[in-house]
Chains A and B, each alone.
Chain A
């Protein structure tokens, strides 16, 4: 099953490689990983999307907790949560396609960030499935380049991860 694991860790050099190294060394699946400092500059917040059986996910959480730099670990999928991912996609936009691409962007609540006479660069935010749906709606030959951030997640309501 797919799980979103959120963690807070000391914002030390090499912290990211400890997490990435753990996943490769123990052959855990890693679908995406995002990391950036939090409002407290000494802490980094990381969101990891992974897949595994209940046993594997339990081990992943325990192993993450075991890393000395990790302050807190939470499996967001244990409760209700919000997840968002951002994608920048450059598409071919010439002739009739320009209008159609604009419409499609609006339907997906995206924004066109940059325009050239042959291309649009579109920003889209949402759960990964929405970004997938957008890409599926575009003729593959018109997709020139995509870049995705991987998911960031946060618990809903009063569910707060803080130290």
Chain B
């Protein structure tokens, strides 16, 4: 049967098993929207700004592991989507974004709502396509899903001119894809894996460092098995939190710019480092020259060969699917009679415990004002560690990462690579739609929340009972912190005057708003939010200490052992 391009788009999404599509209509995608209207296979979630559609699809993917899907119109719809696409790209999130385009004869004519979407997004997508012929449409969409989800995942844009959505052709959704130019490696090199196992057993001061790849590659079970088998200390990047249970004593906390002393020092002083699905970025190891001062042998497992030896030279590179490779490593370790050097390991743990004893995440618990850390701790208690926590970007993000003890993968959803303020609320929407019965908390700041606050309206439309945990300190806190430390307290434009009345604002959107200004009210408010108002969106406006800083902190360009402590 012949279908129109628009019918084909909708059929492809249906056949791909898409359940939620996030988007915003406009001229160039009207034919597609007409078909969306007629179908029942998936729900369309109308956002209030295209950026939110992409963030929601992105978070949907992070939480479920499936490819997130968003649709936007041409021109401004497409450009509004770009921040969301770049966010997903930096964090390797599988996503397909369909953008409308002006009709093919109008391309290049500076037509109304025309932008070169393929050109604009080229540096921030895994791949993109402009579909010029309806006969290529189904195969292209199939490829887009395939590319997005395989290898190192990432966003793929499919730009579809309006006339292509009108043209007709036979529809047949391809069952599989084969591309001569794209064959991601999944199986690691067996010789290298053998070397890695050997090196792990030889270690005197071992360290296991896991990243977002463990979460994305569904390798948490393997990481847990490996760590417990060896009894080695483990840390995680911001993106990898939840890949290994945070409350476990073998876990040293997050490492990096705001990582714990024990994680950063162990990272710096280990003699064998196993890096799994992590990329040694600047927020993680700081200055690579400083990192290289201590001699250590590095094993690096990653699905993306270009992540290996990019910032740090490694001794045993292993390209492959992290879960598969770890399975192989574990198998070899079980087969090997060699035991880790217990004596050295004990000495190493003793050293680590000394670092840990410095209790670098301590804060003043007697203060009369609400400490932001306290709010996160209470959030953890009230939700019993079982919530999906999304965040925006800034101090609140770091506190959420440090004080919410993530013990499952895909529960901590934040923009790590791009650091996109405005991510949190639409992300929480995406998660809540994927898991309607789950507890979803958006930890945010008063700066970030205002970057996509219009989405409170979308939340109302879909009755999403997510909780906004606003740590309101009146400042763009992380900017303020840097200005305090590095700009002699010249607080240039980091104080936000004339903040809205967030309670009234929440109410205006049809939600529950509560302001909390005393430490003793924190827990009751959270209990109400997840109890009494379980089925409502609750906007909790916590007025927190405006002078609080995130510690420890490694200043930009410094090394892992050069932390500023409280």
Contacts and interface: CB of A to CB of B under 8 A. Distances in A.
Contacts of B179: 68
Interface stretch (B120-128, B426-434, B485-493, B527-535): B120-128
Given A14-B118, A18-B122, A69 B309 contact: no
B37 interface: no
Contacts of A69: 127, 181
Given A59-B310, A66-B304, A25 B123 contact: yes
Contacts of A141: none
A87 interface: no
Contacts, number: 39
Contact of A10 (B126, B181, B313): B181
Interface residues of A, number: 20
B306 interface: yes
A69 B130 CA distance: 14
A152 B147 CA distance: 31
B309 A58 contact: yes
Contact of A70 (B122, B147, B181, B309): B181
Contact of A17 (B119, B126, B182, B310): B119
Interface string A103-117: 000000000000000
Contacts of A58: 309
Contact of B309 (A13, A14, A55, A71): A55
A62 interface: yes
Interface string A1-39: 000000001100110011001000100000000000000
Nearest to B310: A59
B122 A21 contact: yes
B362 interface: no
Interface in A48-102: 55, 58-59, 62-63, 65-66, 68-71
B306 A71 contact: no
A9 B304 contact: no
Contact of B306 (A9, A10, A55, A62): A62
Interface residues of B, number: 18
Contact of B147 (A59, A63, A65, A68): A68
A136 interface: no
Contacts of B126: 68
Nearest to B132: A13
B555 interface: no
B231 interface: no
Given A58-B309, A62-B305, A68 B127 contact: yes
A133 interface: no
Contact of A68 (B118, B130, B181): B181
A163 interface: yes
B310 A71 contact: no
Nearest to B147: A68
Interface string B31-44: 00000000000000
Contacts of A13: 130
A66 B380 CA distance: 40
Given A71-B180, A71-B181, A163-B180, A66 B119 contact: no
Contacts of B119: 14, 17
B80 to A, nearest CB: 22
Nearest to A25: B123
Contact of B305 (A17, A18, A25, A65): A65
A68 to B, nearest CB: 4
Nearest to B181: A71
A66 B306 contact: yes
Given A69-B181, A71-B180, A21 B306 contact: no
Contacts of B309: 55, 58-59
A25 B89 CA distance: 14
Contacts of A17: 119, 122
A18 B126 CA distance: 11
Nearest to B126: A68
B320 to A, nearest CB: 15
Contacts of B122: 14, 17-18, 21
A14 B123 CA distance: 13
Contacts of B181: 9-10, 68-71
B239 to A, nearest CB: 19
Contacts of A55: 309, 313
Contacts of A71: 180-181
Nearest to B183: A71
B306 A63 contact: yes
Nearest to A68: B127
Contacts of B123: 21, 25
Contacts of B130: 13-14
Nearest to B152: A66
A71 B178 CA distance: 13
Contacts of A21: 122-123
A58 B147 CA distance: 24
Interface in B88-135: 118-119, 122-123, 126-127, 130
A10 B147 CA distance: 16
Nearest to A22: B123
A63 B307 CA distance: 9
20 contacts: A13-B130, A14-B122, A17-B122, A18-B122, A21-B122, A21-B123, A25-B123, A55-B309, A55-B313, A59-B306, A59-B309, A59-B310, A62-B305, A65-B305, A66-B306, A68-B126, A68-B179, A68-B181, A68-B182, A71-B181
Given A13-B130, A14-B122, A17-B119, 14 more contacts: A18-B122, A21-B122, A25-B123, A59-B306, A59-B310, A62-B306, A65-B305, A66-B304, A68-B127, A68-B181, A69-B127, A69-B181, A70-B181, A71-B180
User: Nearest 4 CB-CB pairs, A to B?
Assistant: A62-B306, A68-B127, A71-B181, A25-B123
